[in-house]
Amino acid sequence: MADVISKNGKLEVNGKQFSTKDVVLTSEYTLKKPDIDEAKTLDADEKAVVEFALKNQGRRLVHCEVKPVKNDYFDDHYRGSVEYTPKCRNYSGHIVHIPDGTTVKDTNFCQRVPNNPAIIGKNLTFIDCNLVNNVIDPSWTVKGCNTSTLDFEAYEAARLAEKDGK
Protein backbone atom coordinates (compact mmCIF):
# COMPACT_ATOMS: atom_id res chain seq x y z
CA MET A 1 0.00 0.00 0.00
CA ALA A 2 1.32 3.44 -0.93
CA ASP A 3 2.11 5.89 1.85
CA VAL A 4 -1.23 7.47 2.70
CA ILE A 5 -1.51 10.14 5.35
CA SER A 6 -4.51 11.65 7.06
CA LYS A 7 -4.22 15.43 7.30
CA ASN A 8 -6.81 18.12 8.08
CA GLY A 9 -9.75 15.76 7.49
CA LYS A 10 -8.41 14.61 4.11
CA LEU A 11 -6.45 11.61 2.93
CA GLU A 12 -3.33 12.25 0.89
CA VAL A 13 -1.19 10.03 -1.34
CA ASN A 14 1.46 10.99 -3.89
CA GLY A 15 0.55 14.67 -3.54
CA LYS A 16 -3.15 14.05 -4.29
CA GLN A 17 -5.72 14.94 -1.67
CA PHE A 18 -9.05 13.18 -1.20
CA SER A 19 -11.80 14.63 0.97
CA THR A 20 -13.74 12.23 3.17
CA LYS A 21 -17.31 11.87 4.29
CA ASP A 22 -18.51 10.37 7.54
CA VAL A 23 -20.34 7.05 7.28
CA VAL A 24 -21.79 6.00 10.64
CA LEU A 25 -21.36 2.23 10.98
CA THR A 26 -22.18 1.80 14.68
CA SER A 27 -22.85 4.10 17.60
CA GLU A 28 -19.15 3.72 18.47
CA TYR A 29 -17.56 3.96 15.01
CA THR A 30 -17.72 6.28 12.00
CA LEU A 31 -15.83 5.48 8.81
CA LYS A 32 -13.98 8.39 7.18
CA LYS A 33 -14.83 7.24 3.66
CA PRO A 34 -12.92 8.80 0.74
CA ASP A 35 -15.15 10.91 -1.48
CA ILE A 36 -14.63 8.80 -4.64
CA ASP A 37 -17.44 7.67 -6.95
CA GLU A 38 -18.63 4.28 -5.68
CA ALA A 39 -19.31 2.90 -9.19
CA LYS A 40 -15.88 3.64 -10.66
CA THR A 41 -13.01 1.16 -10.82
CA LEU A 42 -10.21 2.63 -8.72
CA ASP A 43 -6.80 3.71 -10.03
CA ALA A 44 -3.66 2.94 -7.97
CA ASP A 45 -3.78 6.08 -5.80
CA GLU A 46 -7.51 5.69 -5.17
CA LYS A 47 -7.00 2.02 -4.22
CA ALA A 48 -4.35 3.07 -1.71
CA VAL A 49 -6.63 5.70 -0.15
CA VAL A 50 -9.66 3.37 0.06
CA GLU A 51 -7.51 0.56 1.48
CA PHE A 52 -6.11 2.95 4.09
CA ALA A 53 -9.62 4.09 5.05
CA LEU A 54 -10.85 0.49 5.45
CA LYS A 55 -7.81 -0.91 7.25
CA ASN A 56 -6.04 1.87 9.14
CA GLN A 57 -8.64 4.17 10.67
CA GLY A 58 -9.88 2.97 14.03
CA ARG A 59 -10.99 -0.60 13.35
CA ARG A 60 -10.07 -2.92 10.50
CA LEU A 61 -13.15 -3.23 8.27
CA VAL A 62 -11.76 -5.70 5.73
CA HIS A 63 -9.28 -8.60 5.82
CA CYS A 64 -5.67 -7.42 5.86
CA GLU A 65 -4.86 -9.16 2.55
CA VAL A 66 -7.72 -7.95 0.34
CA LYS A 67 -7.38 -5.03 -2.07
CA PRO A 68 -10.34 -2.83 -2.97
CA VAL A 69 -11.63 -2.61 -6.54
CA LYS A 70 -14.23 0.11 -5.87
CA ASN A 71 -15.09 2.54 -3.05
CA ASP A 72 -18.40 0.78 -2.36
CA TYR A 73 -18.11 -0.27 1.29
CA PHE A 74 -21.57 0.47 2.69
CA ASP A 75 -21.70 -1.28 6.07
CA ASP A 76 -20.66 -4.51 7.79
CA HIS A 77 -23.09 -6.54 5.65
CA TYR A 78 -22.20 -4.90 2.31
CA ARG A 79 -18.42 -4.72 2.52
CA GLY A 80 -17.46 -3.55 -0.96
CA SER A 81 -15.76 -4.88 -4.09
CA VAL A 82 -12.37 -6.54 -3.64
CA GLU A 83 -9.82 -8.54 -5.60
CA TYR A 84 -9.59 -12.24 -4.78
CA THR A 85 -6.51 -13.57 -3.00
CA PRO A 86 -6.12 -17.13 -1.67
CA LYS A 87 -4.68 -15.57 1.51
CA CYS A 88 -8.21 -14.58 2.55
CA ARG A 89 -10.80 -17.29 3.36
CA ASN A 90 -13.74 -15.05 4.27
CA TYR A 91 -15.39 -12.85 1.63
CA SER A 92 -18.76 -12.71 3.36
CA GLY A 93 -20.54 -9.54 2.32
CA HIS A 94 -18.01 -8.64 -0.38
CA ILE A 95 -18.30 -8.48 -4.14
CA VAL A 96 -15.28 -10.53 -5.20
CA HIS A 97 -13.44 -10.23 -8.51
CA ILE A 98 -11.80 -13.61 -9.19
CA PRO A 99 -9.54 -14.14 -12.22
CA ASP A 100 -11.14 -16.36 -14.85
CA GLY A 101 -10.18 -20.03 -14.54
CA THR A 102 -9.27 -19.88 -10.83
CA THR A 103 -9.88 -22.81 -8.45
CA VAL A 104 -11.05 -21.73 -4.97
CA LYS A 105 -11.12 -24.07 -1.96
CA ASP A 106 -12.55 -23.81 1.57
CA THR A 107 -13.65 -20.18 1.31
CA ASN A 108 -16.73 -18.31 2.58
CA PHE A 109 -18.63 -16.15 0.08
CA CYS A 110 -21.93 -15.99 2.02
CA GLN A 111 -24.16 -13.03 1.16
CA ARG A 112 -26.87 -11.42 3.26
CA VAL A 113 -29.59 -11.33 0.59
CA PRO A 114 -30.65 -14.18 -1.74
CA ASN A 115 -29.67 -14.32 -5.42
CA ASN A 116 -26.69 -12.02 -5.05
CA PRO A 117 -24.34 -11.86 -8.07
CA ALA A 118 -21.40 -11.12 -5.75
CA ILE A 119 -18.73 -13.24 -7.45
CA ILE A 120 -17.28 -11.87 -10.69
CA GLY A 121 -15.41 -14.38 -12.87
CA LYS A 122 -15.89 -17.10 -15.47
CA ASN A 123 -14.87 -20.77 -15.58
CA LEU A 124 -14.23 -20.81 -11.83
CA THR A 125 -14.04 -24.00 -9.75
CA PHE A 126 -15.28 -23.93 -6.15
CA ILE A 127 -14.43 -26.82 -3.81
CA ASP A 128 -15.93 -27.04 -0.29
CA CYS A 129 -16.92 -23.34 -0.27
CA ASN A 130 -19.83 -21.51 1.34
CA LEU A 131 -21.80 -19.98 -1.55
CA VAL A 132 -25.02 -19.23 0.39
CA ASN A 133 -27.18 -16.68 -1.46
CA ASN A 134 -24.80 -16.36 -4.42
CA VAL A 135 -25.93 -16.55 -8.03
CA ILE A 136 -24.08 -19.55 -9.48
CA ASP A 137 -22.75 -18.79 -12.96
CA PRO A 138 -23.30 -21.60 -15.51
CA SER A 139 -19.57 -21.58 -16.40
CA TRP A 140 -18.57 -22.55 -12.83
CA THR A 141 -17.82 -26.00 -11.45
CA VAL A 142 -19.13 -26.40 -7.88
CA LYS A 143 -18.02 -29.40 -5.76
CA GLY A 144 -19.07 -30.02 -2.15
CA CYS A 145 -20.24 -26.43 -1.61
CA ASN A 146 -23.17 -25.02 0.33
CA THR A 147 -25.31 -23.34 -2.34
CA SER A 148 -28.45 -22.86 -0.27
CA THR A 149 -30.61 -19.75 -0.15
CA LEU A 150 -31.55 -18.06 3.13
CA ASP A 151 -33.24 -14.72 3.70
CA PHE A 152 -31.23 -13.64 6.75
CA GLU A 153 -33.32 -10.53 7.35
CA ALA A 154 -36.58 -12.52 7.42
CA TYR A 155 -34.94 -15.18 9.61
CA GLU A 156 -33.67 -12.58 12.09
CA ALA A 157 -37.06 -10.83 12.18
CA ALA A 158 -38.80 -14.15 12.92
CA ARG A 159 -36.30 -14.92 15.68
CA LEU A 160 -36.88 -11.50 17.29
CA ALA A 161 -40.67 -11.91 17.06
CA GLU A 162 -40.37 -15.36 18.65
CA LYS A 163 -38.19 -13.99 21.43
CA ASP A 164 -40.54 -11.05 22.08
CA GLY A 165 -43.55 -13.41 22.17
CA LYS A 166 -42.11 -15.45 25.06
160 CB-contact burial (10 Å; exposed 0-12 / middle 13-18 / buried 19+): exposed
Amino acid at 18: F
Together in a domain, 120 and 148 = yes
71 pLDDT exceeds 70?
yes
104 three-state secondary structure:
strand
Q: CA 60 to CA 79: how far, in whole Å?
A: 12
pLDDT at position 160 is 83
- What pTM did the predictor assign? 0.87
Residue 46: its pLDDT value, please? 96
* pLDDT at residue 126 in the model: 98
Instruction: Count how many domains the chain has.
Output: 2
Say yes or no: 165 and 90 in one domain. yes
Predicted local distance difference test score (pLDDT) of residue 156: 81
In a shared domain, residues 18 and 67: yes
pLDDT at 83: 97
pLDDT tens figures, 4-63:
998 888 999 999 999 999 998 888 888 899 999 999 999 999 999 999 999 987 778 898
Domain range for 8: 1-76
- Split at pLDDT 50, 70, 90, the class of 1 is low
Q: Do 100 and 162 lie in a common domain?
A: yes
**For residue range 90-149, what is the model confidence (pLDDT) as tens digits?**
999 999 999 999 999 999 999 999 999 999 999 999 999 999 999 999 999 999 999 999
If asked whether residues 88 and 72 sit together in one domain, one would say no
One DSSP character per residue, 114-140 reads SSB--EE-SS-EEES-B-TTBPPPTT-
Which of 76, 99, 132 lies at the terminal end of a domain, its last residue?
A: 76
